[in-house]
Amino acid sequence: MTATPPAPARDVPSNMADRLIVALDVKTPEAASDLVDRLDGTATFFKIGMWLLFAKGTDALIDRLVDKGNNVFLDYKMYDIGQTVKEGVARARERGAKIVTIHGDDAIMKAAVEGKGGDAKLKLFAITVLTSMNDDDLAGMGYRLTVPELVELRVRKAAECGVDGVIASAADNPAELRRRAGAPGLLIGTPGVRSPGVAVHDQKRVATPEGAIRAGADYIVMGRQITEAADPAAEARKVIAEMERGAAPAA
């Protein structure tokens, strides 16, 4: 009788600080570079999204981050025909990106996996439902599913298509999503995270850093709480400490 191979372990950094992704949601690459300098020695993972995508100098910022040994998350939410997504992912791989986001459509995810080309260093994360959306928002877009139903569907599809992870709220219960999808190795990145008492802004499905990690999130993505703080490094250290409490055994 052939033994069943063990389920793959999630490829998560052992250092909690490396699981905090700071969103460089500022208006210029110069402002982003200043933030990176102020966070030096505290944060190692940085997200570049729509705020900077079209800004002059962002290419140089990406190169600087990669050359300094930082991890780069290109939150570009690729949504296009398969060949275009495939080539977009291939270019991100060549640039040295660590995470790239794509939409959770089957054809898009399969094309992205082709573009990745077996590179274990690049992780593809599929979007489930934005943490700024709730059931009413989905209904307004014509969806018949609730947020939990759509998230679960997209997680299952992501696992079937062979992507590395998904973006989902801690409120979606990351550990349970993996279990229901039969994908124990699936990585989950969680935005919409705020420390207790901090303004949630436009987020609707929110969790604390401690709660997100305890629920099974592998990475948390945080912007304004850190980037708008008087001392971003001190704020990041506070968040990392809260994350570490989430990883500690429950009392």
Report the interhelical angle of 147-161 vs 106-116 (nearest 10°): 40
Which strand (E) or helix (H) includes residue 75?
strand 71-78
Catalytic annotation present for 157: no
Distance CA 189, CA 168 (A): 6
**CA nearest to 102, candidates 123, 133, 121:** 123
Q: SS3 letters for 172-224?
A: HCHHHHHHHHCCCCCEEEECCECCCCCCCCCCCCCECHHHHHHCCCCEEEECH
Strand partners, 20: 220
114: part of which helix (H) or strand (E)? Answer: helix 106-116
Per-residue tokens: 225 = 């709480």
Q: Could you say which of 77, 110, 204, 238 is catalytic?
A: 77
Residues marked as catalytic: 77
